[in-house]
Amino acid sequence: MLSAALIVAIGIAFVAPLGHELRYPLYPQDEGLLLVYPSLILHGAVPDRTFESVYGVTNLWIIAAAFKLVGYSLAVERGVGILYRFVILVSLVWLAWRHRGPVAALVSAAIFLVLIAGTWALAAYGWICALAFVSLAFLLMDIGLNNKTRRLPVVMAGVCLGIAVGARIDMALAIALVIAALFVTYRKSLGWLLPGLAIGLVPLLVSILQAGLPAVIRDQILNPIFVSGRSRRLPLSSLTRQDLTLLILCVGVAIASVVAGVVLIRKYRNEWAPVLLLSFGVFELGILPEAFQRADALHLLLVGAFILPGAVMLPTQWQRPPANSFLGRLGLFPLTMGVVVLVLAQPYFGDIYWSSVWFNSADVPLHKVSNEGRSVLVGSAQDQSHLTALLADLDSRAHRGEQVFVGPLNLRTANYNDTYIYFLLPQLTPGSFYLEMNPGEANGKNSQLAANLREDDFLILTNRYDNLPDPDPSTRIGPNAPNMVVRTEFQQIAQEGPWRLYDRKIPRISNAAVR
């Protein structure tokens, strides 16, 4: 009865804030690309060949499959995001329940839910996709390797790890650390894990065959880390005191998990539980760079919401606890750690959670922009009005198949973009390799942007992001060639708020026009 009540309570706590979060306006570029890229894939486009994509293809394929099954909509994409969060929650809670009992599982669930509510939003980001499959992989390994080996769960765990790499290729380091830990401490698990890993990597390998290995390395590794990445980084000094405390806790839990795993493996050789703890710890260390490379609350929580719920797995004592003892089942240290995290989180994250649960829909109005049977949520009534008018104007002028580019008014900058606008124009073709604006890439010295613009029919440019600050001024301003193309070959025909619509001074003869 207690177990059933706890499961129901966790389920209600997970669902309660969703009504509020589903009303959030989308992030124009970050969530916009999750709408646009899967839509393009379903129409034959190839990531890293047809358009630049700094994220892995597996997550895009999953969203594309959902679009194919249910329809193209923001709700479907967010539904995939909700599913990812549910998988992480279930996996972490189930693991805690198996090793520490129901109360520790409840603490783990509470930490996870308090940290993500209102901060992760509901977008199906590639990082969250990867975390979902890694969490599931740990659970499947635990089911397959605890006490006696069950082959199918271990194979499926390997598949999940491969899918996670395909969703975020930069998570490969953390997963490689897990495999290395297993090779050293529990080598027999690899006989079934590695074949599954190879299966899970198939989408990534297909993407490499389609786009070419150099393009995938350039767009998913070199540019995000060494080019645009340095302009996106924020120093630790930008963190609030509370966020910095959570970061220190994350580092402490990760290190403690590794140390505890090593000590317990030496004490209890050939047992799975210490190996699981060590594997958890090395994975946590492997994902910490995501928090350090851009030190803001969101990126901290993308890491902390996985690491801190796992604190309940830390051992209470260095000796094996007596069977079924209160200390062994409940775990004083994990519970204490959970309470500390919840107390630290309450002044900010806890308030967000409860405000999301008890929100008044009248205080969170929906501002929906619809076009060609597709809709998105924007941040204000003004944006709704301006975009609706602008898109109607463009629809009255454009022919199906013509090319449109969406970008900043000053094309020497590449801070951010209203990528979602492409999603609202399914009758037109995106007119650039750069559908998102990343500094040093779209405005880099080797950028194709100027050449792309010469092939376009319409431009939608905005000044909303021209003056966004970035930490690295050397990549703030790029070549002026794209601006010169706009000035010499296009003319402004409409303006709605911050958005301006351009068409060609001399219309080009396109295949769409001929047809």
pLDDT category at 3 given cuts 50, 70, 90 is: confident
Q: Which of 157-161, 283-287, 356-360 has the lowest mean pLDDT?
A: 356-360
User: How many separate domains does the chain show?
Assistant: 2
Contact 320, 290 (CB under 8 A): no
Q: How far is CA 505 from CA 245, 400, 403, 491, in A?
A: 57, 19, 15, 6
Three-state SS for 359-370 is CCHHHCCCCEEE
What the block records as the tokens of 402 is 């013509």
Do 345 and 406 fall into the same domain?
no
Do 262 and 372 fall into the same domain?
no
CA distances from 162 to 127, 166, 194, 196, 290 (A): 14, 6, 9, 8, 19
Q: How confident is the model at residue 337 (pLDDT cuts 50, 70, 90)?
A: low
Mean pLDDT (whole number) for 208-221:
94
Residue 297: the pLDDT is 81
How long a stretch of residues is the chain?
A: 515
Whether pLDDT at 452 is above 90: yes
Q: What is the pLDDT of residues 15-53, one digit of tens each?
A: 999 999 999 999 999 999 999 999 999 999 999 999 999
Cα(301)–Cα(249) distance, rounded to whole angstroms?
12
Q: Are residues 208 and 325 in the same domain?
A: yes
Are residues 72 and 126 both part of a single domain? yes
Which of 86-100, 244-258, 418-432, 459-473 shows the lowest per-residue confidence on average (mean pLDDT)? 459-473
d(CA 301, CA 422): 29
Please determine, for residue 391, whether its predicted confidence score (pLDDT) is greater than 80: yes
Please give the residue range of the domain that contains residue 510. Answer: 368-514
Contact 417, 389 (CB under 8 A): no
Q: Supply the mean pLDDT for the chain.
A: 88
Q: Same domain for 421 and 339?
A: no
- Name the one residue in this structure whose structure tokens are 């992001």: 465
Q: Mention every residue, 6+ apart, whose C-beta is less than 8 A from residue 420.
A: 26, 28, 29, 31, 32, 35, 36, 376
In a domain, 60, yes or no: yes
One DSSP character per residue, 94-116 reads HHHHHHH-HHHHHHHHHHHHHHH
In DSSP notation, 52-86 reads --SS-HHHHHHHHHHHHHH-S-HHHHHHHHHHHHH
User: 282 in a domain, yes or no?
Assistant: yes
Distance (Å) of CA 435 to CA 30, 53, 252, 409, 427: 11, 9, 39, 15, 16
Do 275 and 387 have their domain in common? no
Half-sphere exposure of 253 (CA within 13 A, CB side): 30
User: What is the per-residue pLDDT for 338?
Assistant: 64
172/121 same-domain check = yes
The answer as to whether 46 is a domain residue is no
> Are residues 236 and 144 both part of a single domain?
yes
Whether 289 is covered by a domain: the verdict is: yes
Say if 360 falls within a structural domain: no
Quote the DSSP letter at residue 496.
E
Last residue of a domain, one of 322, 354, 386: 354
Per-residue pLDDT at 243 exceeds 90: no
User: In this predicted structure, what is the pLDDT of residue 514?
Assistant: 36
Q: Name the pairing type of β-strands 458-462 and 403-408.
A: parallel
Of 354, 382, 405, the residue that ends a domain is: 354
Residue 268 has a pLDDT of 82
Pair (400, 266) in one structural domain: no
* High-pLDDT (> 90) share of the chain, %: 63
Q: Please tell me the predicted confidence (pLDDT) of residue 224.
A: 86
Lay out the sheet containing 499-504: strands in order across.
429-430, 403-408, 458-462, 499-504, 490-496
Among 320, 354, 388, the domain-final residue is 354
Q: What is the pLDDT of residues 455-511, one digit of tens each?
A: 999 999 999 987 766 655 545 789 999 999 999 999 999 999 999 999 998 877 654
φ and ψ at 500, to 5 degrees? -125, 140
Say if 58 falls within a structural domain.
Answer: yes
Structure tokens at 421: 């606008």
User: What average pLDDT does this structure show over 2-7?
Assistant: 82
| Whether 339 and 223 share a structural domain | yes
- 157 occurs within a structural domain: yes
Structure tokens at 68: 């194919």
- Collapse the DSSP code of 374 into the 3-class scheme (helix H, G, I; strand E, B; otherwise coil) and give the result: strand
Q: Per-residue pLDDT for 441 more than 60? A: yes
- pLDDT given at position 328: 46
What are the pLDDT digits (tens) for 161-195?
Answer: 999 999 999 999 999 999 999 999 998 889 999 99
Confidence (pTM)? 0.93
- pLDDT confidence tier of residue 267, bands split at 50, 70 and 90: confident
Residues 294, 171 share a domain: yes
Same structural domain for residues 159 and 89?
A: yes
pLDDT at 363 over 90: no
Does the structure show a pLDDT above 50 at 345? Answer: yes
- 38 domain-assigned: no
The CA-CA-CA angle for residues 82, 87, 91, to 5°, reads 150
Instruction: Report helix, strand or coil for 461.
Output: strand
